[in-house]
Amino acid sequence: MKNRAKKAGDLISPRQQRNWDWRAAANFIAGGAGGALLLFTAIIGAETEATRMAILLGMILIGTGLTCVWFEIGRPWRALNVYRHFATSWMTREAVVALVLFAAGALAVLTLRPLFVILTGILGLAFLYSQARILAANKGIPTWRHPRSISLMMATGFAEGAGFLACMPALSSAQPTAPVLVSLIALIAIRAFFWKAYLGGLVADGAPEGALKVLNGIAPRLAIFGHVLPALFVIAALAGIPGRAGLIFVAGIMVVATGWFLKFTLVRRAAFTQGLALMRLPVRGGGVAGPAAKPGWKAIAGT
């Protein structure tokens, strides 16, 4: 009887989703960073070869993510149907923004005219926002639909874009400017804030225990390698410590890598389904039914 009850609990408890694999995660991983990189490149606004390289990298990242999603579809040419639902679907809006973004980005790369660079940056921001809303629109996954997931996806995208931007001068003879480095520190702190707020929101509102276990499991690594160490490296570089270019490059890579790790974990490993809730526990034969239950979910304080 005990084994039977355990088996029934397993059937109604939240389960890790299997519909979106690593290719779907790659769209959020690469696309968000690419969109933010385009935005910050436009904000800097320098008409240099570095600007051209940054825009190219941003479009490559976005294109890589979209290509991964395209290969995930069983019949890839059905992807054209995504353009039919602009009024209701954030996936459609993402796809439409991507088309305009690639056109504007190509003109920006060819001409480096400020108008096209700025337009590409605005479209990069729109692409990042569309991706954040795609995740939140999946109501069957509690960790995705939580309203704080939007701010978390935006915050990590911004941090990754700034991380890429800080890395790029290290690959040449140029040096990252102080505003870029200060912005990177600020965005690291902002990501840390929204990450903590997101976890706190899941705990306060109740969430699948499996998802909380996964997210809490990565929290120490994200704090050390994604927030504390990169910020210290950038501060050291601003202070003029020898090896400045190397410190900045490592800090940028750490910010990007941990952001990608966070998004992969959120999309693949912490994505547990809703499961089922019981209004009352059934009993065999006569007797009084038991209290309501929500197997596999963290209890909310006061309920």
Q: Give 180-190 pLDDT, tens digit per residue.
A: 899 999 999 99
Please give the helix or strand (H or E) that residue 153 lies within, else none.
Answer: helix 148-167
Domain membership of residue 114 (yes or no) is yes
pLDDT of residue 57: 95
pLDDT of residue 161: 96
Domain membership of residue 292 (yes or no) is no
Report the DSSP beta bridge partners of residue 281: 290
**CATH classification at residue 140:** 1.20.1630.10
- Residues 178 and 196: beta-carbon distance below 8 Å: no
Query: Any residues with CB less than 8 A from the CB of 240 and at least 6 apart, and which?
Result: none
pLDDT of residue 1: 40
Residue with the bigger pLDDT between 3 and 72: it is 72
pLDDT of residue 5: 44
What percent of the chain has pLDDT above 70?
A: 81
Model confidence at 65, pLDDT cuts 50, 70, 90, reads very high
Q: What is 73-118 written as a DSSP string?
A: SSSGGGGGGGGG-TTT-HHHHHHHHHHHHHHHHHHHHHH--HHHHH
Token pair of 159, please?
Answer: 């941090």
Domain membership of residue 297 (yes or no) is no
pLDDT of residue 172: 59
Euclidean distance between CA atoms 110 and 123, whole angstroms: 17
How many domains is the chain built from?
Answer: 1
Rounded to 10 deg, the angle between the 22-44 and 148-167 helix axes is: 60
Domain membership of residue 223 (yes or no) is yes
Domain membership of residue 278 (yes or no) is no
pLDDT, one tens digit per residue, over 24-45 is 999 999 999 999 999 999 998 7
- pTM of the predicted model as reported, rounded to 2 decimal places: 0.86
Residue with the bigger pLDDT between 201 and 1: it is 201
Euclidean distance between CA atoms 89 and 94, whole angstroms: 9
Read off the pLDDT of each residue in 68-79 and give the average, rounded to a whole number: 72
Domain membership of residue 290 (yes or no) is no
Domain membership of residue 282 (yes or no) is no
What percent of the chain has pLDDT above 90?
A: 60
Mean predicted lDDT score pLDDT of the chain: 86
Read off the pLDDT of each residue in 225-237 and give the average, rounded to a whole number: 96
Domain membership of residue 291 (yes or no) is no
pLDDT of residue 113: 93
Residue range of the domain that includes 114: 19-269
pLDDT, one tens digit per residue, over 109-165 is 999 999 999 999 999 999 999 999 999 998 889 999 999 999 999 999 999 999 999
